[in-house]
Every structure is written in structure tokens, then in C-alpha cells.
Amino acid sequence: MPETDAPLTYGPNEDVVDLLLAQHAQIEQLFLLVIGGTGETRRDAFDDLVKLLAAHETAEEEVVHPLARTLPGGGGDAMVDDRLDEERQAKETLKTLVAGGVDADGFETGIILLRDAVLMHARHEERYEFPRLRQFVPAERLRSLATAVRAAEASAPTRPHPGAQSAKGNLAAGPVLAVIDRVRDAVRKPSES
């Protein structure tokens, strides 16, 4: 089957690296919308950002980093530990921002710090981790992982239902954790077979 050289392909040839790269770009866009936006626009963009970030980082934690640990060369374990630390810190900051909501004092500062940390983290993955996946993991496996990650993320709610809002009208921390749990459960199933 002919391979395409396009960096972002969708459909049967999309592999998990394509998918994660596309999500990095989407995450960056959403940060721009949150930081540049006000009122409802900012609130909606922040909700979308929280969902995507939670799902994306959880899928990486469950699928990509464990796989990267098994690959030869490149100080795999230390590299993966660094990525996991970055993700843990980002999730903590994210939870704090979610709990306070977009109108809280300190949201402005917090969201900029989070953006800088998340984008730096994404660059590290792109530089140190993704190339090794492409080098050492069979293309077929990378494609099936894309399918697994997409299915897992599709199982997570994309918009909060009214009961999921906090008193301030913002997305509550509970549903964010639920997204993480559901993505985790969904990605574990296919990898166990």
C-alpha cells in the first residue's frame, strides 16, 4: 500500500504520530482562543481545551510513553520519566484552573504558564519521542494505535452537560477526571488483546 509523505493524513493511513501532531496544533490554537478571547468565547474555548488536553495527555500516558520505553537507544526510560513529570504538572495546573474557572483571579497568569509548559512539553515529545516511534515501531502498529486513541477519545464527552457545570458556570473538575478515566479505560482494552 503506498505511503503518503503528507505530515497530517486522515483516514486509513493516519498513524498515531500524525494524530498526536494534529492534536498538538489544535491545542495550540485553543490556547490562542482562550488567551485572546473574552466572555462566552473564552469559556467555550477553555472547555474544549480542557477536554482535548485531558484526553490527549491521557492517551499519551497510556499508549505512547509505555511503548517509547520499550524502544532501543536514546535513554528511553529517563526521557519518558521527564515527559510523564511534565504531564503530571500540567494536569495539576489544569485542575487548579478548572476549579477556579475563567473568571478567577490568577486565571490570566495561570493559563499563560500552562500554555508555555504544555507547548514546551509537546516540542519535547516531537523532538525526542515521536521520531523513535516512527523509526522502531511497524507502520501497521502505529496505524492501529491511532484507531485505538481515536476510539478512546470519541468515548469521552466533548461538551459538558448542564449537570457537569460548577456553581460558577464553569466545567467542574469531576468531569475532567471522568474524561481521563474513560480514555484510560478505552485505550487499555485494545492494548490488552
Minimum gap (Å) between residue 94 Cβ and Fe ion? 12
Give the nearer residue to Fe ion in terms of CB position, either 60 or 62: 60
Q: What is the C-alpha radius of gyration for the chain, rounded to an integer number of angstroms? A: 17
DSSP state of 162: G
Give the nearer residue to Fe ion in terms of CB position, either 43 or 61: 61
CB-CB contact of 155 with 83 (8 Å): no
CA max distance for the chain: 54
CA distance 76 to 83: 11
**Which of positions 21-50 make contact with Fe ion (CB under 5 A)?**
none
Give the nearer residue to Fe ion in terms of CB position, either 34 or 55: 55
User: One-letter amino acid identity for 21?
Assistant: L
Size of the site for Fe ion (CB under 5 A): 4
Burial status of residue 11 (CB atoms within 10 A of its CB: 0-12, 13-18, 19 or more): exposed
Minimum gap (Å) between residue 136 Cβ and Fe ion? 18
Interface map 48-67 toward Fe ion (x if CB under 5 A): ---------x--x-------
Give the nearer residue to Fe ion in terms of CB position, either 48 or 125: 125
**Which of positions 84-123 make contact with Fe ion (CB under 5 A)?**
122
Residue nearest to Fe ion according to CB distances in the complex: 60
Query: Residue 182 forms beta bridges with which residues?
Result: none
Contact footprint for Fe ion (CB under 5 A)? 57, 60, 122, 125
